[in-house]
Amino acid sequence: MRPVTLFPALLMTATLLLASAARANILISIDKSTQHMSVSVDGETRYVWPISTGRAGYDTPNGTFKANRMDADHFSQEWDNAPMPHAIFFDMNGHAVHGFFDVKHLGRPASHGCVRLSPEHAGTLFDLVTAEGMSNTTIVVSGRTPSSRSPKVARRRAPIAPAAETVSSESMQITPQYGQPLAPYYSRPAYDRPHYGQGYYGQVYQQQQYYQPSTRY
C-alpha cells in the first residue's frame, strides 16, 4: 500500500495561498486634469507625486489597466533612444509610467503619451510594484489634458487715414503735378524762360522739355 501524499500537497497549496494573500494591492491613480499621481496600497494612500502626461497631439489614454511589463533601464525605440528609467508599461501601445530627468516640466502635460515621474519617485514606484507583483497593480488614468493657455498677442492697428472732407487745403502743398496743363508763359518760373536783358551770343534758346513720368508702378 502506497503512503498517503495528500498532506504535503495540501501544505504546499496553503503556502501559496498565504503568500498570495500576503501581497498588497497597488492602485496607481493618474489624474490628467491636476497632473498628479496618487499611489495607494490596500486602500491607503501612500504617495502623491507631480507628473507629466501627454501634451496636445500625444494624449495619454484614459482607462483602467494592468501593469504588463517592467524594465528598470529602458530606452525609447521611437524617440531617439530617450532614457525611460524604471518603466512600468500598462497597455499594448507602449505607454508607460517612467522616470524622466528633465523635471522642470513636471506638473503640466509635456510627454509623448507616457506618464513621467522624477527619477527618484519612479524608482520608488518600481520597487513597490516589484515587491507586490504586476498582477496586483492596477493603473487608472482619468481626467482631461489641460489646454495650453498662451498669452494673447497684442495687434497693432493700422493708422486710420483722415476723411477727404476733413483735409484742409492749407495742410496740402500743391505742386505742379504730372499731367496737369502748364501755366501761361510769363507765369512760369525763371528757369523755364530767358532772363530779359541777358544776351544769348548767337545761341538759339531752346525751351525746356516738359517731363512726364511713367504711370507704371
Q: Would you state the pLDDT for residue 36? A: 98
Question: Would you state the cell numbers that stand for residue 114, as one nine-digit string?
Answer: 507616457
Average pLDDT value over all residues in the chain: 76
What ranges do the domains of the chain cover? 23-142
pLDDT digits (tens, 9 = 90+) for 84-116: 999 999 999 999 999 999 999 999 999 999 999
What is the dihedral sign for C-alpha 50, 89, 145, 153? positive
Q: What is the mean pLDDT of residues 113-124?
A: 98
pLDDT digits (tens, 9 = 90+) for 165-198: 544 444 444 444 545 554 554 445 544 544 444 4
Question: Would you state the cell numbers that stand for residue 191, as one nine-digit string?
Answer: 528757369
Alpha helices, DSSP H only, in 42-147?
119-132
Q: Which residues are CB-contacts of 201 (< 8 A; sequence separation ≥ 6)?
A: none
Residue scoring higher pLDDT (61 or 187): 61
Question: For residue 61, is pLDDT > 50?
Answer: yes
Q: Which residue, chain included where needed, has cell 513597490?
A: 128
Rounded Cα gap, residues 87 and 73, in angstroms: 8
Indicate the range of 32-36, 56-60, 155-159 predicted with least confidence.
Answer: 155-159
Report DSSP state, residue 112: S
Q: Would you state the pLDDT for residue 132? A: 97
Do 85 and 98 meet the contact criterion of CB atoms below 8 Å apart? Answer: yes
CATH architecture designation of domain 23-142: Beta Barrel (2.40)
